[in-house]
Amino acid sequence: MKDILAKRLKQCRKEMGYTQCQVAIYCDITEKAYQNYELMTREPKLDILVRIADLYGVSLDYLVGRNDEK
């Protein structure tokens, strides 16, 4: 799951044209924390994951690889 999550976080961010810093500010976390999510060194807490999904306009199931439809 971590591999898929990291890949999809990066893919969605690039598709939306956001920087890691912009996503971090929206989620009220540090840029380093967000970088760790994309590098697979840490997993976001559920409340952060929900914010990220809302920002990208995708479902949680999509982000974690349970569904391939955004």
Domains in the chain with CATH codes: 2-64 (1.10.260.40)
35-69 pLDDT, tens per residue? Answer: 999 999 999 999 999 999 999 999 999 999 999 98
| pTM (predicted TM-score) | 0.91
Residue whose token pair is 């990208």? 56
Quickly list DSSP for the chain: -HHHHHHHHHHHHHHHT--HHHHHHHHTS-HHHHHHHHTTS----HHHHHHHHHHHT--HHHHHTS-S--
